[in-house]
Protein backbone atom coordinates (compact mmCIF):
# COMPACT_ATOMS: atom_id res chain seq x y z
CA UNK A 1 0.00 0.00 0.00
CA UNK A 2 1.36 3.44 -0.87
CA UNK A 3 2.18 5.98 1.79
CA UNK A 4 -0.64 8.26 0.68
CA UNK A 5 -3.14 5.43 0.75
CA UNK A 6 -2.06 4.39 4.25
CA UNK A 7 -2.26 7.95 5.42
CA UNK A 8 -5.70 8.44 3.85
CA UNK A 9 -7.02 5.33 5.57
CA UNK A 10 -5.54 6.26 8.91
CA UNK A 11 -6.97 9.78 8.77
CA UNK A 12 -10.40 8.41 7.91
CA UNK A 13 -10.11 5.89 10.74
CA UNK A 14 -9.21 8.55 13.26
CA UNK A 15 -11.54 11.23 11.94
CA UNK A 16 -8.72 13.67 11.17
CA UNK A 17 -9.51 16.23 8.44
CA UNK A 18 -6.93 15.61 5.66
CA UNK A 19 -6.17 19.33 5.38
CA UNK A 20 -4.59 19.15 8.84
CA UNK A 21 -1.88 16.81 7.66
CA UNK A 22 0.77 17.64 5.08
CA UNK A 23 0.93 15.28 2.10
CA UNK A 24 3.65 12.64 1.93
CA UNK A 25 5.72 11.01 4.64
CA UNK A 26 5.93 13.06 7.82
CA UNK A 27 8.63 15.68 8.08
CA UNK A 28 10.53 16.20 11.28
CA UNK A 29 7.90 17.24 13.75
CA UNK A 30 8.09 20.46 15.66
CA UNK A 31 7.18 20.81 19.27
CA UNK A 32 3.59 19.96 20.02
CA UNK A 33 1.27 22.28 21.77
CA UNK A 34 0.58 20.40 24.95
CA UNK A 35 1.73 17.84 27.39
CA UNK A 36 0.29 14.42 26.82
CA UNK A 37 -0.61 13.11 30.24
CA UNK A 38 -3.75 11.18 30.94
CA UNK A 39 -4.96 13.63 33.53
CA UNK A 40 -3.50 16.79 32.14
CA UNK A 41 -4.97 19.99 33.50
CA UNK A 42 -6.52 22.14 30.77
CA UNK A 43 -3.90 24.87 31.20
CA UNK A 44 -0.98 22.82 29.92
CA UNK A 45 2.21 24.68 29.00
CA UNK A 46 2.73 26.15 25.57
CA UNK A 47 5.15 24.68 23.06
CA UNK A 48 8.77 25.70 23.08
CA UNK A 49 10.95 25.21 20.00
CA UNK A 50 13.27 22.25 20.24
CA UNK A 51 16.97 22.26 19.46
CA UNK A 52 18.43 19.05 18.09
CA UNK A 53 21.54 17.75 19.79
CA UNK A 54 22.68 14.54 21.42
CA UNK A 55 20.79 11.39 22.14
CA UNK A 56 19.00 10.58 25.35
CA UNK A 57 19.98 7.27 26.86
CA UNK A 58 18.99 6.94 30.42
CA UNK A 59 21.46 5.15 32.61
CA UNK A 60 19.68 2.64 34.76
CA UNK A 61 21.10 0.24 37.28
CA UNK A 62 18.68 -2.50 36.26
CA UNK A 63 19.90 -4.48 33.29
CA UNK A 64 17.82 -4.43 30.11
CA UNK A 65 19.90 -5.90 27.34
CA UNK A 66 18.58 -5.05 23.88
CA UNK A 67 18.16 -8.02 21.59
CA UNK A 68 20.89 -7.36 19.07
CA UNK A 69 19.06 -4.33 17.75
CA UNK A 70 21.13 -1.44 16.46
CA UNK A 71 20.11 0.18 19.68
CA UNK A 72 22.49 -2.14 21.44
CA UNK A 73 25.38 -0.87 19.42
CA UNK A 74 24.67 2.76 20.15
CA UNK A 75 25.74 3.59 23.62
CA UNK A 76 24.92 6.64 25.66
CA UNK A 77 25.69 9.82 23.81
CA UNK A 78 25.61 8.26 20.35
CA UNK A 79 23.54 10.42 18.04
CA UNK A 80 20.47 8.76 16.62
CA UNK A 81 17.96 10.00 14.16
CA UNK A 82 15.37 8.48 11.92
CA UNK A 83 15.99 9.20 8.26
CA UNK A 84 15.54 12.89 7.61
CA UNK A 85 15.02 13.75 11.24
CA UNK A 86 17.14 15.44 13.85
CA UNK A 87 18.74 13.34 16.54
CA UNK A 88 17.15 13.27 19.94
CA UNK A 89 17.96 15.80 22.55
CA UNK A 90 19.09 14.65 25.97
CA UNK A 91 16.18 15.45 28.27
CA UNK A 92 16.68 17.73 31.18
CA UNK A 93 16.78 16.00 34.54
CA UNK A 94 13.57 16.06 36.52
CA UNK A 95 13.19 19.07 38.73
CA UNK A 96 12.88 16.80 41.72
CA UNK A 97 15.15 13.92 40.78
CA UNK A 98 13.81 10.61 42.08
CA UNK A 99 15.78 8.97 44.82
CA UNK A 100 17.43 5.59 44.70
CA UNK A 101 15.45 2.57 43.57
CA UNK A 102 13.42 0.82 46.21
CA UNK A 103 14.84 -2.42 47.45
CA UNK A 104 13.67 -4.51 44.56
CA UNK A 105 17.01 -5.83 43.37
CA UNK A 106 15.50 -9.31 43.21
CA UNK A 107 13.14 -8.33 40.39
CA UNK A 108 15.95 -8.45 37.86
CA UNK A 109 16.03 -12.24 38.18
CA UNK A 110 12.30 -12.84 37.81
CA UNK A 111 10.72 -14.52 34.80
CA UNK A 112 7.26 -13.58 33.53
CA UNK A 113 5.17 -15.71 35.90
CA UNK A 114 7.23 -14.70 38.93
CA UNK A 115 7.08 -11.04 37.99
CA UNK A 116 3.33 -11.21 37.47
CA UNK A 117 2.92 -12.81 40.89
CA UNK A 118 5.13 -10.15 42.47
CA UNK A 119 3.01 -7.39 40.95
CA UNK A 120 -0.23 -9.05 42.04
CA UNK A 121 1.01 -9.24 45.63
CA UNK A 122 2.49 -5.75 45.76
CA UNK A 123 1.64 -3.53 48.74
CA UNK A 124 4.49 -1.07 48.30
CA UNK A 125 2.21 1.98 48.15
CA UNK A 126 -1.28 2.95 49.23
CA UNK A 127 -2.81 2.23 45.83
CA UNK A 128 -3.03 -1.43 46.77
CA UNK A 129 -5.84 -0.57 49.17
CA UNK A 130 -8.19 0.75 46.50
CA UNK A 131 -7.49 -1.61 43.64
CA UNK A 132 -9.81 -4.33 42.42
CA UNK A 133 -6.76 -6.03 40.93
CA UNK A 134 -3.36 -5.13 39.56
CA UNK A 135 -3.06 -4.48 35.83
CA UNK A 136 0.11 -6.20 34.75
CA UNK A 137 0.41 -5.82 31.00
CA UNK A 138 -0.66 -7.61 27.87
CA UNK A 139 0.76 -8.65 24.53
CA UNK A 140 3.56 -10.61 22.95
CA UNK A 141 6.31 -11.43 25.47
CA UNK A 142 8.90 -10.66 22.81
CA UNK A 143 7.08 -7.89 20.99
CA UNK A 144 9.13 -5.63 18.79
CA UNK A 145 7.00 -2.70 19.93
CA UNK A 146 6.38 -1.90 23.57
CA UNK A 147 3.72 0.66 24.40
CA UNK A 148 3.98 2.35 27.78
CA UNK A 149 1.05 4.26 29.24
CA UNK A 150 0.26 5.80 32.57
CA UNK A 151 -2.01 3.96 34.98
CA UNK A 152 -5.14 1.82 34.94
CA UNK A 153 -8.48 3.60 34.94
CA UNK A 154 -11.79 2.26 36.10
CA UNK A 155 -12.29 -0.23 33.27
CA UNK A 156 -8.73 -1.47 33.45
CA UNK A 157 -8.99 -1.93 37.22
CA UNK A 158 -12.15 -3.95 36.67
CA UNK A 159 -10.88 -6.08 33.79
CA UNK A 160 -7.21 -6.41 34.71
CA UNK A 161 -6.01 -5.38 31.26
CA UNK A 162 -4.40 -2.08 30.23
CA UNK A 163 -6.17 0.29 27.86
CA UNK A 164 -9.58 -1.28 27.60
CA UNK A 165 -11.60 1.93 28.09
CA UNK A 166 -12.10 4.79 25.64
CA UNK A 167 -8.40 5.57 25.55
CA UNK A 168 -7.79 1.94 24.72
CA UNK A 169 -10.17 2.04 21.79
CA UNK A 170 -8.28 4.98 20.37
CA UNK A 171 -4.97 3.26 21.05
CA UNK A 172 -6.19 0.18 19.17
CA UNK A 173 -7.17 2.37 16.20
CA UNK A 174 -3.81 4.08 16.22
CA UNK A 175 -2.01 0.75 16.32
CA UNK A 176 -4.20 -0.68 13.61
CA UNK A 177 -3.40 2.27 11.36
CA UNK A 178 0.23 1.15 11.27
CA UNK A 179 -0.49 -2.55 11.05
CA UNK A 180 -0.08 -3.39 14.75
CA UNK A 181 -2.40 -5.09 17.19
CA UNK A 182 -2.74 -6.28 20.76
CA UNK A 183 -4.38 -9.47 19.53
CA UNK A 184 -2.38 -12.62 18.97
CA UNK A 185 0.09 -12.17 16.11
CA UNK A 186 3.80 -12.57 15.41
CA UNK A 187 6.10 -10.35 17.51
CA UNK A 188 6.55 -7.90 14.64
CA UNK A 189 2.82 -7.12 14.74
CA UNK A 190 1.62 -7.90 18.25
CA UNK A 191 2.68 -5.18 20.66
CA UNK A 192 3.24 -5.43 24.39
CA UNK A 193 1.30 -2.86 26.42
CA UNK A 194 2.20 -1.90 29.98
CA UNK A 195 1.55 0.98 32.30
CA UNK A 196 3.89 2.92 34.49
CA UNK A 197 1.61 2.18 37.45
CA UNK A 198 0.04 -1.23 37.93
CA UNK A 199 -2.77 -0.04 40.24
CA UNK A 200 -5.51 2.47 39.62
CA UNK A 201 -5.09 5.81 41.37
CA UNK A 202 -8.36 6.67 43.11
CA UNK A 203 -10.66 8.78 40.95
CA UNK A 204 -8.08 8.56 38.15
CA UNK A 205 -5.98 11.24 39.79
CA UNK A 206 -2.39 11.76 38.67
CA UNK A 207 0.17 9.33 40.03
CA UNK A 208 2.32 10.73 42.83
CA UNK A 209 6.12 10.71 42.54
CA UNK A 210 6.26 8.15 45.34
CA UNK A 211 3.82 5.82 43.57
CA UNK A 212 5.78 6.14 40.34
CA UNK A 213 9.00 5.39 42.14
CA UNK A 214 7.62 2.34 43.89
CA UNK A 215 6.09 0.86 40.75
CA UNK A 216 8.81 1.65 38.25
CA UNK A 217 10.98 -1.42 38.88
CA UNK A 218 8.14 -3.60 37.57
CA UNK A 219 8.10 -1.71 34.29
CA UNK A 220 11.87 -1.84 34.10
CA UNK A 221 11.76 -5.62 34.45
CA UNK A 222 8.98 -5.92 31.87
CA UNK A 223 11.08 -4.00 29.38
CA UNK A 224 14.09 -6.16 30.16
CA UNK A 225 12.02 -9.30 29.53
CA UNK A 226 10.38 -8.09 26.33
CA UNK A 227 13.56 -6.54 24.94
CA UNK A 228 11.58 -4.42 22.52
CA UNK A 229 13.10 -2.87 19.44
CA UNK A 230 11.00 0.25 19.87
CA UNK A 231 9.31 1.83 22.88
CA UNK A 232 6.39 4.19 22.39
CA UNK A 233 6.01 6.30 25.53
CA UNK A 234 2.56 7.82 25.76
CA UNK A 235 2.06 10.80 28.00
CA UNK A 236 4.14 12.58 30.54
CA UNK A 237 4.23 9.94 33.26
CA UNK A 238 5.61 7.30 30.92
CA UNK A 239 8.15 9.86 29.79
CA UNK A 240 9.04 10.77 33.36
CA UNK A 241 9.61 7.15 34.22
CA UNK A 242 11.59 6.22 31.13
CA UNK A 243 13.48 9.37 30.21
CA UNK A 244 13.66 11.02 33.61
CA UNK A 245 12.37 14.13 31.93
CA UNK A 246 9.75 16.57 33.09
CA UNK A 247 9.75 18.36 29.74
CA UNK A 248 6.35 18.71 28.12
CA UNK A 249 5.50 16.07 25.52
CA UNK A 250 5.47 18.78 22.87
CA UNK A 251 9.17 19.36 23.41
CA UNK A 252 10.17 15.71 23.41
CA UNK A 253 8.18 14.33 20.52
CA UNK A 254 9.40 14.32 16.94
CA UNK A 255 12.80 12.84 17.80
CA UNK A 256 14.17 9.44 18.68
CA UNK A 257 15.32 9.09 22.28
CA UNK A 258 16.83 6.02 23.86
CA UNK A 259 16.02 3.99 26.93
CA UNK A 260 18.79 1.57 27.81
CA UNK A 261 19.84 1.72 24.17
CA UNK A 262 16.34 0.96 22.89
CA UNK A 263 14.91 3.61 20.55
CA UNK A 264 12.07 5.43 22.26
CA UNK A 265 9.50 7.69 20.63
CA UNK A 266 7.36 10.05 22.69
CA UNK A 267 3.76 10.79 21.85
CA UNK A 268 0.57 12.10 23.38
CA UNK A 269 -1.50 9.95 25.65
CA UNK A 270 -4.69 8.70 23.95
CA UNK A 271 -6.80 10.29 26.70
CA UNK A 272 -5.23 13.64 25.83
CA UNK A 273 -6.01 13.02 22.16
CA UNK A 274 -9.63 12.33 23.04
CA UNK A 275 -9.78 15.77 24.61
CA UNK A 276 -7.68 17.43 21.91
CA UNK A 277 -8.57 15.68 18.65
CA UNK A 278 -6.72 18.17 16.48
CA UNK A 279 -3.47 16.82 17.92
CA UNK A 280 -4.21 13.43 16.39
CA UNK A 281 -2.37 14.71 13.33
CA UNK A 282 0.75 15.14 15.49
CA UNK A 283 0.22 11.71 16.98
CA UNK A 284 0.12 10.35 13.45
CA UNK A 285 3.49 11.97 12.79
CA UNK A 286 4.81 10.33 15.94
CA UNK A 287 3.55 6.93 14.86
CA UNK A 288 5.18 7.35 11.48
CA UNK A 289 8.46 8.23 13.17
CA UNK A 290 8.10 5.19 15.42
CA UNK A 291 7.32 2.96 12.43
CA UNK A 292 10.36 4.21 10.51
CA UNK A 293 12.54 3.70 13.55
CA UNK A 294 11.21 0.22 14.26
CA UNK A 295 11.72 -0.74 10.62
CA UNK A 296 15.34 0.38 10.83
CA UNK A 297 15.73 -1.57 14.09
CA UNK A 298 14.18 -4.67 12.54
CA UNK A 299 16.37 -4.44 9.45
CA UNK A 300 19.48 -4.48 11.59
CA UNK A 301 18.35 -7.13 14.08
CA UNK A 302 18.41 -10.91 13.78
CA UNK A 303 15.24 -12.40 12.29
CA UNK A 304 12.48 -13.06 14.81
N1 LIG B 1 -4.64 5.09 30.53
C2 LIG B 1 -3.44 4.51 30.70
O3 LIG B 1 -2.41 5.16 30.70
N4 LIG B 1 -3.41 3.19 30.86
C5 LIG B 1 -4.49 2.44 30.86
O6 LIG B 1 -4.36 1.24 31.01
C7 LIG B 1 -5.73 3.07 30.67
C8 LIG B 1 -5.79 4.40 30.50
Category of 77 on φ-ψ map: left (φ > 0), alpha (ψ -120 to 50) or beta: left
Residue 94 inside a domain? The answer is: no
| CA–CA separation, 285 and 146 (whole Å) | 18
Q: What is residue 256's three-state secondary structure?
A: strand
pLDDT digit string (tens) for 90-111? 443 443 333 334 456 789 999 9
| CA–CA separation, 11 and 21 (whole Å) | 9
Whether 225 has a pLDDT exceeding 70, the answer reads yes
Q: How many CB atoms lie within 10 A of CB 61?
A: 9
Question: What pLDDT score does 19 carry?
Answer: 52
| Residue ranges in 107-188 assigned as alpha helix (H) | 112-120, 127-130, 154-159, 166-177
The residues with which 271 forms a beta bridge, in sequence order, are none
Instruction: Phi first, then psi: give them for residue 230, nearest 5 degrees.
Output: -150, 130
Whether 43 has a pLDDT exceeding 60, the answer reads no
Read off the pLDDT band of 88 (50, 70, 90).
low
Read off the pLDDT band of 264 (50, 70, 90).
very high
Whether 303 has a pLDDT exceeding 50, the answer reads yes
Does the beta carbon of 38 lie inside 6 Å of ligand 1? yes
Nearest to 122 by CA among 189, 190, 219, 35: 219
Residue 115 inside a domain? The answer is: no
Cα distances (angstroms) measured from residue 98 to each of 113, 195, 234: 28, 18, 20
Query: Is the Cβ–Cβ distance between 144 and 298 less than 8 Å?
Result: yes
Residue 53 inside a domain? The answer is: no
Q: Do strands 145-149 and 192-195 pair parallel, antiparallel, or not at all (unpaired)?
A: parallel
pLDDT digit string (tens) for 285-294? 999 999 999 9
| CA–CA separation, 51 and 49 (whole Å) | 7
Residue 9 inside a domain? The answer is: yes
Does the beta carbon of 153 lie inside 6 Å of ligand 1? yes
| Max CA separation in the chain (angstroms) | 52
Regarding pTM above 0.85, the answer is no
Helix H or strand E segment including 271: helix 270-275
Percent of the chain with pLDDT over 70: 64
Question: What pLDDT score does 2 carry?
Answer: 55
Residue 295 inside a domain? The answer is: yes
Residue 29 inside a domain? The answer is: no
Q: Which of 119, 133, 151 to mutate to test the pocket of ligand 1 (most atoms within 8 A of CB)?
A: 151
Q: Is the dihedral of CA 66, 72, 76, 82 positive or negative?
A: negative
Q: Which residue has its alpha carbon closest to ligand 1 atom 7?
A: 163
Does the beta carbon of 196 lie inside 6 Å of ligand 1? no
pLDDT digit string (tens) for 201-212? 999 999 999 999
Query: Is the Cβ–Cβ distance between 255 and 81 less than 8 Å?
Result: yes
Mean pLDDT of 83-94: 44
Atom of ligand 1 nearest to the CA of 195: 4
Q: Which of 132, 149, 160, 235 to mutate to test the pocket of ligand 1 (most atoms within 8 A of CB)?
A: 149
The residues with which 195 forms a beta bridge, in sequence order, are 149
Q: What is residue 190's three-state secondary structure?
A: strand
Domain residues for the domain of 214 are: 1-16+64-71+126-304
Read off the pLDDT band of 261 (50, 70, 90).
very high
| CA–CA separation, 14 and 115 (whole Å) | 36
How far does residue 208's CA lie from ligand 1's centre (Å)? Answer: 16
| CA–CA separation, 14 and 177 (whole Å) | 9
Question: What pLDDT score does 299 carry?
Answer: 85
Nearest to 170 by CA among 42, 69, 269: 269
Question: What pLDDT score does 14 carry?
Answer: 63
Where in 15-133 does DSSP place strands (E)?
Answer: 57-58
Question: What pLDDT score does 99 carry?
Answer: 38
Whether 250 has a pLDDT exceeding 90, the answer reads yes
What is the spatial order of strands in the sheet that 145-149 belongs to?
A: 57-58, 256-259, 262-267, 230-234, 145-149, 192-195, 138-139
Residue 297 inside a domain? The answer is: yes
Residue 78 inside a domain? The answer is: no
Atom of ligand 1 nearest to the CA of 135: 6
Number of domains in the chain: 1
CATH of the domain at 177: 3.40.470.10
Does the beta carbon of 150 lie inside 6 Å of ligand 1? yes
| CA–CA separation, 73 and 75 (whole Å) | 6
pLDDT digit string (tens) for 129-183? 999 999 999 999 999 999 999 999 999 999 999 999 999 999 999 999 999 999 9
Query: Is the Cβ–Cβ distance between 263 and 229 less than 8 Å?
Result: yes
| CA–CA separation, 134 and 264 (whole Å) | 25
How far does residue 299's CA lie from ligand 1's centre (Å)? Answer: 31
> In this predicted model, which residue has the larger pLDDT, 96 or 268?
268
Amino acid sequence: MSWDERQRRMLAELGIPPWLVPAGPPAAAGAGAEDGGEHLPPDAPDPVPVAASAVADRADPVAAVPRGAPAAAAGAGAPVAAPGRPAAVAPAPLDAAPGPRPGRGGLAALDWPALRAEVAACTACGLCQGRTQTVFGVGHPQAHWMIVGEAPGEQEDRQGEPFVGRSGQLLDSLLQSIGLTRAEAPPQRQVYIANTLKCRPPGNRNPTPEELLQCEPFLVRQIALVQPRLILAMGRFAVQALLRSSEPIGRLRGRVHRYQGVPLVVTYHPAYLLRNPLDKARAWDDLCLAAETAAASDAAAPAN
